[in-house]
Structure 1
């Protein structure tokens, strides 16, 4: 299907099982190579998609094994609400607070994916809107205790129990909310 990249070695620089699943769903052969990069940015300087695109770049800069036949893929996702990024929770208490914040309200999920070769790069970004219904304290603590969503922006995974019982409405791509803007990524890959 993608003749333009058939002789390329694709490397996904992500620890996310969801990104692996979504990339595999495109029938691509790839290796997973998580990179260790400090995901630090200035929240006064960067907003919304500037954050996810910047963090894609930070992850790519940590890659050291460039060869002509390599395509490196990096990605990042944030939850954006009330003019700030809602990060990954660092503790049970933070995860509960995040879900209490999201309960009964709208927020945006912003996901970026980047494709790099030694001589070229493309970054694509997509935004989806999510509305949670009112979540009870019991529902929130059940989800956090059972699913431990500490690796997820906003403290939740839409594909998990909380998405089934709590997400009232989505405007945009479900896959963007899962953490990878699949449609935009595939179009970019076809033109890379």
Structure 2
């Protein structure tokens, strides 16, 4: 259990991230701000994740007085190409077909801001899918919720249960919040508060 944390703001509408933070025993307030998630050309996927998390944190520059703000962004990459959130069912089907029988990478960038201190980090996981049929993809599109997720799938839902063969790296990173690294970072910030 982490002692001496200041009030925590989680800048995310993701129910997965909210649940993970709650499961870590962290009390928090969820506050949302709209942020332009465009990024400069030429960035690698892990750089994009940190860049966007940093932009989200910058939006809280005036809001965060006395609070510890946590922002994050998750990127799915296949052969170095970023797969974002699908525009529609056809786009989601295309992405899921491209991932079928393949390994792809999931990067989550996290930024923490408290007063004048900022810390950012990324985590990387390899996710392996078995080969899937178009019928399975169509079923998932009909009953699943791929449209608000990078890469068009959620590792914690039906797709993750029946399609993901294995993961090298953090499972919670694939969900959208690498809790192992976050816990260590939160402890560092708690130490700063205690010293202050």
TM-score by length of 2: 0.93
Asked if the contact 1:124–1:188 (Cα under 8 Å) also holds between the matched residues in 2, the reply is no
Cα RMSD (Å): 1.0
Superposed CA offset, 1:119-161 (max 9, x none): 1011121101011000100100110121131111100001110
In the alignment, which of 1, 7, 10 is matched to residue 9 of structure 1? 7
| SS of equivalent residue, structure 2 residue 139 | helix
Asked if the contact 2:20–2:179 (Cα under 8 Å) also holds between the matched residues in 1, the reply is yes
Q: Which residue of 1 aligns with 2:110?
A: 113
| SS of equivalent residue, structure 1 residue 39 | coil
Cα distance in 2 for partners of 1:22, 1:161 equals: 18
Q: Which residue of 1 aligns with 2:95?
A: 98
Asked if the contact 1:127–1:172 (Cα under 8 Å) also holds between the matched residues in 2, the reply is yes
Cα distance in 2 for partners of 1:131, 1:66 equals: 39
Q: Which residue of 1 aligns with 2:74?
A: 77
In the alignment, which of 117, 132, 136 is matched to residue 135 of structure 1? 132
Cα displacement (A) at 1:2? 2.1
Cα displacement (A) at 1:9? 1.3
Structure 1: which 5+ runs fail to align?
none
What is the number of residues matched between the two proteins? Answer: 188
Asked if the contact 2:57–2:112 (Cα under 8 Å) also holds between the matched residues in 1, the reply is no
